[in-house]
Amino acid sequence: MKRWLAAGVLSALLCAHEAGAQVVQNIVLRNSFNPVGAGARGLGMGGAFIGVADDGTAASFNPAGLAQLRRSELAAVGFNDELRSTLTVPRRQQVETFQSVTRHYRPDFFGLSVPFEAAGKNLTVELSYQRTVDIFGRGQATVLDRRELQDLDPDLPPTVVDIIGQIAPEASGAFHTAGLAAGYQLTSRLALGASLNYWIARWSTRGHSDFRILILPSEAEFPLLRTDFDEEQRFQALSVNLGMLLKYPRLSLGVVVRMPFTGDYTLLESSRQIDFTSADARGEPIADQLDFQVRSRIRWPRSAGVGIALRPFKGMTLAGDYTRSQWSRSVIEDVPAGALLTPRKMGLDGAPEESFTDRNFFDLLPATQTATEDTDQWRAGGEYLVVLPGIIVPLRGGYFRDRSPVVDLGADRGRLITGFTVGTGLNFQRLVLDVAFERRRSAGNVALRLRAGEKVNAGRLPAETVREDRVVASLIYRAGGPDDPLKRLFRFLFVGRQDEGNN
């Protein structure tokens, strides 16, 4: 290898590690992570349900809404998801296109809600499970940097090189929560609620990355580094959500605050790196096996939402929600250098040194340097009830605007995610079946600059468009009236025998 090429390799590899870690972590995290409740009814209204929250899925949107229930409800929700990604990569003479389709279906929510009277007011308790954050999909990204070799060493010839990385990860897993929630009707208008949630998360990321140098203008290529990686991450924690619902005949106002929390984090990572810039005694590239088992903590940030619901006439509900999430404060504590494909700190003798850094969950940059931004989510929708003999048929629709916390190269903000929803159902006296369809779209660059402060031509960057279609189905069973055995059991547990005669 030429002397001037070898001189730039060390700097290039260090930057490649940093950018590669960022891409691997966020390329398959195409959802915004902003919290949305479960259920086909709420989703059919665009997810705008904080100010409504009046069925068996209420605690996932606003626990205060549980106080509106008057019958025990058993709710089950499932979904089918299809994600289509199209990646276009500009080359000097042509544009390459890569497409991928990923499908899966999962249970999304189970809940048992039981209302009863306490101190003359309605109190509803709910036990639930929710697939709170779904992680799945595969992708490909390109990491780009152009260097003048004289910037590295004034004695080098005036040669321009491109540092190019191709990264192809695939991820699967989810964040699950098991919750105990309660909503209490404090006054005829005001209800308060809270939920205690136990988080269990497990997700894996597998794939490979290849980095090379392209010499201009000859376009001669030299491989630098190949990494095959396999990561498994786990997380468990306790969190608290607080809710409020103020309800009038034609207007409701809901507020929910998801408090910040910290939980245990485990990383199991295995990677094999082949360094083409060095060779062993036989002249073969040096392969290095890296294995990490990390036990640390994740700090999860606060998010807060407010919702409003209007009922202009009988059977019609119009709703809107706004949620703010502080993702810039999501931190994995004490990540050792080299874990999650981050750069390893090297000593003067060239040997790796032990070092630990708090890193943002999304871009894996040091927490004090993260580009991850706080996000806003807007949702709006409506429902109209068609009343027929013995059955009610709802008609629903909605629209939402969300944003990724990860800022794309060549952009000032994270990727915009927009979509619409439609839904309907069959509402009998005791059985409710709801279905909803959601289409979500986003577009952005899947490339990272290796050096800060440079201007880029966004039109020449690899760009991705994503379309995600989700079908959600909910089944809710509503038990009988005062003879409901679950009501009697919960009244006994929370109120006691002495109040039975008054209830």
pLDDT one-digit tens code per residue, 195-238: 999 999 999 988 888 888 777 777 777 888 888 989 999 999 99
- Tally of CA atoms within 13 A in the half-sphere of 230 that contains its CB: 4
Least confident among 5-9, 214-218, 286-290, 450-454: 450-454
Tell me if 265 sits within 8 A of 235, measured CB to CB. Answer: yes
Buried b (16+ CB within 10 A) or exposed e, 305-328: bbbbbebeeeeebbbbbbbebbbb
The pLDDT value recorded for residue 344 is 75
The pLDDT value recorded for residue 33 is 81
Between residues 25 and 333, the one the model is more confident about:
333
For residue 326, give the amino acid letter. Q
The pLDDT value recorded for residue 21 is 60
CA distances to 182, 345, 484, 486 from 481, in Å: 20, 67, 6, 10
Count of Cβ atoms closer than 10 Å to residue 448 Cβ: 28
Any idea what DSSP says for residue 250? Answer: S
The pLDDT value recorded for residue 93 is 66
Percent of the chain with pLDDT over 70: 81
Residue 128 pLDDT greater than 50, yes or no: yes
Residue 489 pLDDT greater than 90, yes or no: no
Residue 305 pLDDT greater than 50, yes or no: yes
Instruction: Identify the CA nearest to 202 among candidates 168, 232, 227, 224.
Output: 232
- Phi then psi dihedrals of residue 293, to 5 deg: -130, 105
Least confident among 161-165, 196-200, 430-434: 161-165
Give burial (CB, 10 Å; 0-12/13-18/19+) of 290.
Answer: middle
Torsion of CA 53, 320, 468, 448, to 10 degrees: -120
Tell me if 85 sits within 8 A of 103, measured CB to CB. Answer: no
Count of Cβ atoms closer than 10 Å to residue 277 Cβ: 18
CA distance 216 to 222: 12
Torsion of CA 474, 479, 480, 485, to 10 degrees: -170
- Cα-only R_g, the chain: 27
Between residues 240 and 218, the one the model is more confident about:
240
The pLDDT value recorded for residue 350 is 64
Average pLDDT, the chain: 84
The pLDDT value recorded for residue 494 is 67
The pLDDT value recorded for residue 409 is 63
Residue 336 pLDDT greater than 80, yes or no: yes
For 109-120, the pLDDT digits (tens) are 999 999 988 888
The pLDDT value recorded for residue 29 is 59
Q: Identify the bridge partners of residue 374 per DSSP, sorted by sequence position.
A: none
Domains identified in the chain and CATH numbers: 3-502 (2.40.160.60)
The pLDDT value recorded for residue 201 is 94
Give burial (CB, 10 Å; 0-12/13-18/19+) of 482.
Answer: exposed
Between residues 217 and 57, the one the model is more confident about:
57
CA distance 365 to 255: 33
Tell me if 275 sits within 8 A of 288, measured CB to CB. Answer: yes
Residue 294 pLDDT greater than 70, yes or no: yes
CA distance 388 to 378: 33
**262 alpha-carbon distance from chain centroid:** 17
- Phi then psi dihedrals of residue 418, to 5 deg: -125, 160
For residue 22, what pLDDT band results from cuts at 50, 70 and 90?
low
Tell me if 381 sits within 8 A of 325, measured CB to CB. Answer: no
The pLDDT value recorded for residue 502 is 45
Q: Identify the bridge partners of residue 384 per DSSP, sorted by sequence position.
A: 316, 395
Task: Output the six-digit token pair for 457.
Answer: 């031509």
Residue 91 pLDDT greater than 70, yes or no: no
The pLDDT value recorded for residue 452 is 45
Least confident among 2-16, 440-454, 464-478: 2-16
Residue whose token pair is 């407010």: 306
CA distance 234 to 17: 23
Residue whose token pair is 């020449």: 460
Residue 10 pLDDT greater than 60, yes or no: no
Query: Mean per-residue pLDDT for 421-439?
Result: 96
Tell me if 241 sits within 8 A of 63, measured CB to CB. Answer: yes
Percent of the chain with pLDDT over 90: 48
For 356-400, the pLDDT digits (tens) are 899 999 888 899 988 889 999 999 999 999 999 999 999 999 999
The pLDDT value recorded for residue 245 is 98
The pLDDT value recorded for residue 20 is 58
Tell me if 338 sits within 8 A of 290, measured CB to CB. Answer: yes
CA distance 417 to 377: 9
Query: Mean per-residue pLDDT for 406-413?
Result: 73
